[in-house]
Structure 1
Amino acid sequence: MSIDLDVHGGGIALITINRPEKRNALDAEHYAGLSRCWETVRDDPAIRVAIITGAGDKAFSSGADLKTFIGREAELADLWLTQKGQLLNRGLEIWKPVIAAVNGYCLAGGMTLMLATDIRIAVPHATFGLAEVKRGIIAANGGTQRTAAQLPYAVAMELLLTGDSIDAQTAERWGLVNRIVPPERLLDEAMAFARRIAANAPLAVQAAKELAVRAPEMGLTMGLRMEQFVNKVLSGTADVREGKAAFADKRAPRFTGR
């Protein structure tokens, strides 16, 4: 039982929630391990893209291991430790792209984790749901926020208020996942996406993600202005010079993130 982090060639990190006997549910120990992995992805300049998946062929993650959390007493002061044990779906700022390889059940905290990723690949038997209201709580860590932002209002409210699940085909139809692939191709497809992204200029990729994520809070006028500022900054980088030289030489660019 663990959270595994492997860094592959080309700057691709693979995070695996390795608790298949519990449908990759996360207790406090595993949440702490996942937090450390996200910090590594954020801080290691050698990593350009991350993939998150679950061990086995049954579950991406079924969310929090409720048996270890419900009824557990915690200090009220902990409510204001907002930066402790930060997670991608809780608000940790990671501007490197994150790909979800959804290999089965994607429920509760597993789904809020997926909602915080940028590209999602799923297997045909994947199931998506936010059943927290059936347990007397709400879908936190972005559950109510990102669901409403990423889906039509009525669809989001159906998921949040009924707690019912949807299948992979429905998730694809509503744009929650990019594509559905056979189980044996899941990681290959995720890696192919990651390689395509990692081949691009890292600073430009991260800037594009941040501007897109911040767009709703900035508004169009500010967003357009920020695009100008960011491109002005990027125009002086070594990667821009390399991109120009590679185009002239008709070769693949060798970006360094500088």
Structure 2
Amino acid sequence: MTALPEAPPEGNIVTERRGALLLIGVNRPAKRNGFSPRMFRELAEAYTLLDDDAELRVGVLHAFGAHFTGGIDLPMLAPLMRRGEKAFPEGLVEPTDLGTPGYRRRQKPMVAAVQGITYTLGIELMLAADIVVAADDCRFSQLEVKRGIMATGGATLRMAERAGLGNAMLHLLTGDEFGSAEALRLNFVQKLVPAGRQLDEAIGIAEAIAAQAPLAVVATRQNALKCVEEGPLAAMAEFAPVQGRLANTEDAAEGVRSFVEKRPPRFSGR
């Protein structure tokens, strides 16, 4: 997708199927991709589509225009925040992947490509993804404390988990702006590329993931998350039962055949 799609005043989320990938584009460049209620709802719907469509294996989250997102459109979202409500209905996949009751957690991998201004919700969405590619022109800030509110999309959890408590406090409590090199140092992003290359790099990583056995990819992702969220013992307890299930799949048999026949595997997700 090269052309900038037309965006309604409240913005929208543009999806594009590319083989086994689902490209999910944030589209409100006139407002620095500030999230409206409509954009939240459509993002949750796109994440749900990724998980529910058997032909899709990996998502790629990206944004149109010069910036990833300036965060939420506070005047539009403030009434919902005061009522403690989300901008998307229950039963959908929660893009911030927090396990909120009533919402689903994403099962399939997500690669995020970010550029330019990546504030508040932008950081939380990328930390909720599995792999992040950042342009070298990124400007990050978790600035909720400057608006009299608290980050509730996962930043207080994941910034400390990725970077250590002191580094998290430095940026959470000051709301300062930092660049791509600092984000890489803090393990918030996994790769830095020249601005304009971030989406291509993210797609390349997503395609490499999509070429692997889908059931094994999902199981591996879930086990790693369980280790982070519940501890190594909980993750290790799943080794034998999960491996037993995977070893009896058609893809495991195909993995053996392709090894013997010295050819690339053709995985079906069964």
Q: TM-score range by the shorter chain?
A: over 0.9
Q: CA deviation at 1:146?
A: 1.4
What's the CA shift string for 1:15-62, capped at 9, x where partnerless?
Answer: 000100111111111111111111101111111011001101x21112
> Structure 1 pair 230/185, CA: closer, same or farther in 2 (3 Å)?
same
AA in 1 matched with 2:15: L
Contact 1:121 1:180 (8 Å CA) reproduced: yes
Q: Counterpart of 1:61 in 2: which secondary structure?
A: coil
Gaps of 5+ in 2: 1-6, 99-103
1:66 aligned residue (70, 74, 94)? 74
Q: Counterpart of 2:197 in 1: which secondary structure?
A: helix
> Structure 1 pair 115/51, CA: closer, same or farther in 2 (3 Å)?
same
2:190 aligned residue (169, 175, 178)? 178
Q: Counterpart of 1:148 in 2: which secondary structure?
A: helix
Contact 2:71 2:122 (8 Å CA) reproduced: yes
2:3 is matched with none
Choose between structure 1 and 2 for higher RCO, CA contacts under 8 A separated by at least 6 residues.
Answer: 1
The TM-score, its normalising length taken from structure 1, stands at 0.93
C-alpha separation in 1, matches of 2:261 and 2:119: 49
2:33 aligned residue (7, 18, 24)? 24
> Structure 1 pair 176/237, CA: closer, same or farther in 2 (3 Å)?
same
Work out whether 1:209 is the aligned partner of 2:221.
yes
Q: Counterpart of 1:188 in 2: which secondary structure?
A: helix
Q: CA deviation at 1:220?
A: 2.1
AA in 2 matched with 1:55: F
Contact 1:32 1:85 (8 Å CA) reproduced: no
C-alpha separation in 2, matches of 1:132 and 1:90: 20
Q: CA deviation at 1:124?
A: 0.9
Q: CA deviation at 1:218?
A: 3.1
> Structure 1 pair 90/252, CA: closer, same or farther in 2 (3 Å)?
closer
Contact 2:24 2:46 (8 Å CA) reproduced: yes
C-alpha separation in 2, matches of 1:135 and 1:43: 37
Structure 1 residues 39-48 or 233-242, which shifts more? 39-48
What's the CA shift string for 1:91-147, capped at 9, x where partnerless?
Answer: 341121101101211111111111101111111111111000000001111121111
> Structure 1 pair 186/75, CA: closer, same or farther in 2 (3 Å)?
closer
> Structure 1 pair 160/247, CA: closer, same or farther in 2 (3 Å)?
same
2:17 is matched with 7
C-alpha separation in 2, matches of 1:212 and 1:82: 28
Task: Calculate the aligned-residue CA RMSD, in Å.
Answer: 1.9
C-alpha separation in 1, matches of 2:94 and 2:229: 21
1:142 is matched with 154
1:243 is matched with 255
C-alpha separation in 2, matches of 1:165 and 1:43: 37
AA in 2 matched with 1:3: I
1:83 is matched with 90
2:115 is matched with 103
Q: Counterpart of 2:17 in 1: which secondary structure?
A: strand
Gaps of 5+ in 1: none
> Structure 1 pair 126/73, CA: closer, same or farther in 2 (3 Å)?
closer
Contact 1:108 1:132 (8 Å CA) reproduced: yes
What's the CA shift string for 1:171-202, capped at 9, x where partnerless?
Answer: 11221111111123222211110111001000
C-alpha separation in 1, matches of 2:56 and 2:46: 12
AA in 2 matched with 1:88: P
Q: CA deviation at 1:82?
A: 8.5
Moved over 3 A (4+): 71-76, 81-86
C-alpha separation in 2, matches of 1:84 and 1:222: 26
Identity %: 35
